[in-house]
Amino acid sequence: MIYLDNGATTPLDGDVLEAMLPYLKENYGNAQSQHGAGRASANALISARDKVAELLGCRADEVYFVSSGTEAGNTALKGVCLNRGKGRIVISSIEHPALYESALDMQKLGFEVTFVDPDKNGVVSAKSVESALTDDTVFCAVMSANNETGVIQPVEEIAKVCRERGIFYYTDSVQTAGCCALPTATVDGLGISAHKFYGPKGVGALYIKNGSKFSRLISGGMQERGLRGGTSNVAGAVGLAYALEKAVKERQKNNAHVKTVRDGFLDRVLKEIPCAKLNGCKDLLLPGHANVTFDGCDGENILFMLDLKGVCVSTGSACSAGAVAPSRSLISMGLGEREAKSAVRFTFGKYNTREEADLVVEELKKAVNIIKRT
Touching ligand PLP, residues 288-347 (CB under 6 A): none
91 binds ligand PLP (CB under 6 A): no
96 binds ligand PLP (CB under 6 A): yes
Touching ligand PLP, residues 140-159 (CB under 6 A): 143, 147
Contact call for residues 291 and 343 (beta carbons, < 8 A) = yes
236 binds ligand PLP (CB under 6 A): no
Out of 70, 102, 223, 293, the residue judged to bind ligand PLP by CB under 6 A: 70
69 binds ligand PLP (CB under 6 A): yes
Touching ligand PLP, residues 104-143 (CB under 6 A): 143
Backbone φ, ψ for residue 88 (5° rounding): -110, 145
The arrangement of strands across the sheet holding 168-172 comes to 63-66, 204-208, 189-193, 168-172, 137-141, 88-92, 112-116
Q: How far is the CB of 147 from ligand PLP (least distance, A)?
A: 3
192 binds ligand PLP (CB under 6 A): no
Task: Give the largest Cα separation in the chain, rounded.
Answer: 69
Pattern of binders to ligand PLP over 260-279, x per CB under 6 A? Answer: --------------------
- Using Cβ positions, the residue closest to ligand PLP within the complex turns out to be 69
Q: Which of 95, 51, 41, 47 is nearest to 70 (CA)?
A: 95
Query: Which residues on neighbouring strands pair with residue 291, listed in sequence order?
Result: 345
Q: How far is the CB of 255 from ligand PLP (least distance, A)?
A: 18
Q: How far is the CB of 228 from ligand PLP (least distance, A)?
A: 15
Q: 88-92 and 112-116: which strand pairing? A: parallel
Q: How far is the CB of 309 from ligand PLP (least distance, A)?
A: 24
CA 182 to each of CA 175, 179, 207, 331, 349: distance values in angstroms, whole numbers, following the listed order: 11, 9, 11, 28, 19
Q: How far is the CB of 121 from ligand PLP (least distance, A)?
A: 18
Which CB atom, from 99 or from 227, has the smaller least distance to ligand PLP?
99
Which CB atom, from 293 or from 314, has the smaller least distance to ligand PLP?
314
Stretch touching ligand PLP by CB under 6 A, among 66-74, 86-94, 158-166, 236-244: 66-74
Sign of the torsion formed by the C-alpha atoms of 44, 48, 54 and 55: positive
319 is catalytic: yes
Pattern of binders to ligand PLP over 166-185, x per CB under 6 A? Answer: ------x-xx----------
CA 53 to each of CA 76, 155, 300, 347: distance values in angstroms, whole numbers, following the listed order: 18, 20, 41, 28
- Long-range pairs, 301-309, Cβ under 8 A, ≥24: 301/367, 301/371, 302/344, 302/364, 302/367, 302/368, 302/371, 303/344, 305/363, 305/366, 305/367, 305/370, 305/371, 306/360, 306/363, 306/364, 306/367, 309/363
Q: Which of 177, 183, 145 is nearest to 241 (CA)?
A: 177
Stretch touching ligand PLP by CB under 6 A, among 67-75, 246-254, 264-272, 347-355: 67-75
- Catalytic residue (choose from 180, 281, 297, 319): 319
Which residues are near ligand PLP by CB under 6 A? Answer: 68-70, 96, 98, 143, 147, 172, 174-175, 193, 204
Residues involved in catalysis: 319
